Copies of this chain bind each other. A is one copy, B any other.
Amino acid sequence: MSSRHSHDRMANAIRFLSMDAVEAANSGHPGLPMGAADIATVLFTKVLKIDPSAPHWPDRDRFVLSAGHGSMLLYSVLHLMGFPKVTMDEIKRFRQLGSITPGHPENFVTEGIETTTGPLGQGIATAVGMAMAEKALQARYGADLVDHRTYVLCSDGDLMEGVSQEAADLAGHLKLSKLVVLWDDNLISIDGATSLSGSTDQLARFAASGWATTRVDGHDPAAILAAIEAAKGAGKPSLIACRTTIGFGAPKKAGSEKAHGSPLGAEEIAATRAALGWEAAPFDIPSDVLEGWRAAGAAGQAHRTAWEARLAALPADRRAEFERTQAGRLPEALDGAIVAFKAKAAADKAAVATRKSSEMVLDAITPVVPEMLGGSADLTGSNNTKAKGAKAITPDDFSGSFVHWGVREHGMSAAMNGIALHKGLIPFSGGFLVFSDYCRPAIRLAALMGERVIHVLTHDSIGLGEDGPTHQPVEHLAALRAIPNLLVMRPADTVETAECWQIALETTDRPSALILSRQNLPVLAPGGAENLSKGGAYEILPANGKAQVSLFATGSEVSLAAEAKKMLEAQGVPTRVVSVPSFELFLERPAAERAAVIGDAPAKVAVEAAVRMGWADLLGSDFAFVGMTSFGASAPGKDLFKHFGITPEAVVAKALDRLKQN
């Protein structure tokens, strides 16, 4: 059997597994797996350094199927390569409840899948983060321990999405030479020919951003392999345009959008079998083909064991540090550093903006947690995410711990997901809260995947002042709180900021958003050893007597509530203040604990310089709200709080009004 014949049969195994699984599910996308089967066969059997028996081996190559709708390509390959959990039964249960073969690849469901894809553009941008992590870890641990590549298979749709272009710009700038993107250049998108909506010369476009580019016949395995080998030496990231035929092999539907997103149908499948000379029944893999694939799968083991020997030979402390950061465990010294920081902050009582508090926390913990890799979307001085002495990574030196992401919030957020997925580093960002809208598709994926990604979002209300409504978040707290599995924290002062940072770092199974003020805030939290923010809400100021009023507030409005408390108590109304750094953490507590925190004061008022949505889920219907009902305006922040009626006086008035009613 010639090598080409063997390749063809191995590729056809992907094609038939895919089309048959889609047919059985009566749902799915056969076009991409059939079109890109040759690319995948070359990549997985000749190029990728992976070991199916150790899917999480740290120095493996990464493969990202950015065009996630082609998931059957990946499941086929994982099965054929011998990933033990991806059984033929699972392939037969493609897209069924409880299978490990969902409609789009989900890394938290299927071992061997590096990231969750489907929303176009995310995969390639996530892969940029993986390649950054590799380069950063190699700078820290050396090429003996960290030396792998990141490969992406993407579609036209991926390249049309802006997020991919942000990521491509960054990858070119940072000279991520171990990133290779194979573009399934099939000239077809869902609506029909790609020429319906685009005429960009993608090779020229990527070359403009510092990529090596080339074009090959995507059905010529030798040409594909040669292009990949050339890419390895390019010294920059590479885009390989692979001209393919969508639905390759299907006599009537190949080359047409009809092959993209629905089952081919029994007749076309039969015709494809005839055309490609494939006699095996559905889900039956000829033994020569399976043997070929399994041999390729087994080849990775030697790489892994050699690497394990190198790891074992490391000095004990280096090895322990590598293994600790790979496992995502925090250093033991962190807790003490946070406790000391809080005690000092509570003693100093310096009124600073919580964005500044965050910088102070970073100064204190960055030396303790060297695996943190932070940055800012070109707002470094505003987000305060650069710790004292933190060095920025540059194209030629990745030993630093700070990233100048440029004005690319979306690309940044997706790349952060890639850094977290890669393991070994803890990514955090800097951005304005209002521009979390630019990041949402990637933040959502972080929440879905349950990755530790930390978004530092500053300038968190009308308090930012003169920049006006385009820059003033109003709905963003609610919109972020609506995302399942995202931890949203809005600390009230320097102490709570430290506590929220600690929670974000310790929370390994979901992303966090730290919502920070531009304006100065006094220190109110006690600063003891216990992390009070962990409960989501706690009484920060007790009433002077039996509470008649409970005030609930977050972030910058906690000190505003404290002012209102003073005024109410001056009028003889005992008032307590509850700080609510996190809705999610509070709502996760047992009902009795929540009731105790909410208390039984006859009047309840919530204060937050944002829309009301979400507060009723904490407090029921028996409360008044002081906050925003519209977009903001351009004026000094203090004028705006007055203009929009978010003042201690307004809180007092609402509290007294509720006392009268009750």
Known: A161-B166, A197-B170. A631 touches B382 (CB 8 A): no
Does A315 touch B at the CB level, under 8 Å?
Answer: no
| Complex CA distance for A333 and B54, rounded to whole angstroms | 67
Known: A190-B380, A191-B378, A470-B445. A160 touches B406 (CB 8 A): yes
Would A470 and B119 count as touching, CB distance under 8 A? Answer: yes
Would A466 and B103 count as touching, CB distance under 8 A? Answer: yes
Rounded to whole Å, the gap between the CB of A311 and the closest CB of chain B is 34
Quick check: which of A45-53, A482-490, A544-552 contacts chain B, the rest being far away?
Answer: A482-490
Does A511 touch B at the CB level, under 8 Å?
Answer: no
Residues of B within 8 Å of A166, CB to CB, are 160-162, 165
Q: Mark A617-652, 1 if CB is under 8 A from B, else 0.
A: 100111000001111011110011001000000000
Would B210 and A199 count as touching, CB distance under 8 A? Answer: yes
List the B residue with the shortest CB-CB distance to A167.
B162
Would A104 and B407 count as touching, CB distance under 8 A? Answer: no
List the B residue with the shortest CB-CB distance to A470.
B118
| Complex CA distance for A120 and B379, rounded to whole angstroms | 13
Contact of A378 among B197, B469, B620 (CB under 8 A): B197
Does A215 touch B at the CB level, under 8 Å?
Answer: no
Q: Mark A395-422, 1 if CB is under 8 A from B, else 0.
A: 0000000001111111100000000000
Residues of B within 8 Å of A639, CB to CB, are 96-97
| Complex CA distance for A617 and B169, rounded to whole angstroms | 44
Number of copies of this chain in the oligomer?
Answer: 2
Does A196 touch B at the CB level, under 8 Å?
Answer: yes
Would B190 and A118 count as touching, CB distance under 8 A? Answer: no
Quick check: which of A2-10, A36-44, A431-439, A567-575 contacts chain B, the rest being far away?
Answer: A431-439
Residues of B within 8 Å of A628, CB to CB, are 484
Does A15 touch B at the CB level, under 8 Å?
Answer: no
Does A297 touch B at the CB level, under 8 Å?
Answer: no
Rounded to whole Å, the gap between the CB of A71 and the closest CB of chain B is 9
Contact of A466 among B25, B197, B611 (CB under 8 A): B25
Does A481 touch B at the CB level, under 8 Å?
Answer: yes
| Complex CA distance for A170 and B165, rounded to whole angstroms | 14
Would B191 and A200 count as touching, CB distance under 8 A? Answer: no
Rounded to whole Å, the gap between the CB of A66 and the closest CB of chain B is 12
Would B485 and A631 count as touching, CB distance under 8 A? Answer: yes
| Complex CA distance for A104 and B622, rounded to whole angstroms | 39
List the B residue with the shortest CB-CB distance to A161.
B407
| Complex CA distance for A63 and B233, rounded to whole angstroms | 46
Does A300 touch B at the CB level, under 8 Å?
Answer: no
Q: Would you list which residues of chain A between 170 and 198 have a CB under 8 Å from chain B?
A: 170, 172-173, 189-191, 196-198
We find that the number of chain A residues with CB closer than 8 angstroms to chain B is: 111
Residues of B within 8 Å of A614, CB to CB, are 613-614
Would A634 and B103 count as touching, CB distance under 8 A? Answer: yes
Residues of B within 8 Å of A434, CB to CB, are 119
Greatest chain B CB density within 10 A among A407, A435, A483, A485 is at A407
Chain A binding surface, main DSSP class: loop
Rounded to whole Å, the gap between the CB of A431 and the closest CB of chain B is 12
Q: Mark A370-383, 1 if CB is under 8 A from B, else 0.
A: 00000010111110
Does A391 touch B at the CB level, under 8 Å?
Answer: no
Quick check: which of A268-276, A355-363, A472-480 contacts chain B, the rest being far away?
Answer: A472-480
Contact of A631 among B198, B484, B616 (CB under 8 A): B484
Would B621 and A467 count as touching, CB distance under 8 A? Answer: no
List the B residue with the shortest CB-CB distance to A630.
B484
| Complex CA distance for A484 and B476, rounded to whole angstroms | 11
| Complex CA distance for A434 and B617, rounded to whole angstroms | 23
| Complex CA distance for A157 and B169, rounded to whole angstroms | 13
Does A201 touch B at the CB level, under 8 Å?
Answer: yes
Would B407 and A157 count as touching, CB distance under 8 A? Answer: yes
Q: Would you list which residues of chain A between 330 and 380 have a CB under 8 Å from chain B?
A: 376, 378-380
Does A497 touch B at the CB level, under 8 Å?
Answer: no
Would B435 and A119 count as touching, CB distance under 8 A? Answer: yes
Does A576 touch B at the CB level, under 8 Å?
Answer: no
| Complex CA distance for A587 and B169, rounded to whole angstroms | 45
Contact of A406 among B197, B448, B612 (CB under 8 A): B197
Known: A467-B118, A484-B629, A621-B620. A208 touches B210 (CB 8 A): no
Q: Mark A509-532, 1 if CB is under 8 A from B, else 0.
A: 000000000000000000000000
Does A454 touch B at the CB level, under 8 Å?
Answer: no
Does A88 touch B at the CB level, under 8 Å?
Answer: no
Residues of B within 8 Å of A435, CB to CB, are 119, 441
Does A59 touch B at the CB level, under 8 Å?
Answer: no
Does A207 touch B at the CB level, under 8 Å?
Answer: yes
Q: Mark A106-131, 1 if CB is under 8 A from B, else 0.
A: 10000000001111110000000000
Does A156 touch B at the CB level, under 8 Å?
Answer: yes
Does A230 touch B at the CB level, under 8 Å?
Answer: no
Would B189 and A407 count as touching, CB distance under 8 A? Answer: yes
Would A482 and B479 count as touching, CB distance under 8 A? Answer: yes
Does A209 touch B at the CB level, under 8 Å?
Answer: yes
Known: A189-B406, A198-B406, A612-B617. A448 touches B482 (CB 8 A): no
Give me 18 A-to-B residue pairs in the complex whose CB atoms sit less than 8 angstroms apart, sorted by A's number. Answer: A95-B635, A96-B634, A97-B639, A104-B468, A116-B470, A117-B470, A119-B470, A160-B407, A161-B408, A162-B162, A162-B410, A165-B166, A173-B198, A204-B207, A205-B208, A440-B440, A479-B482, A485-B630
8 new A-B pairs (CB below 8 Å) besides A161-B408, A191-B376, A620-B621? A97-B636, A161-B162, A197-B405, A204-B204, A204-B207, A448-B469, A613-B613, A621-B622
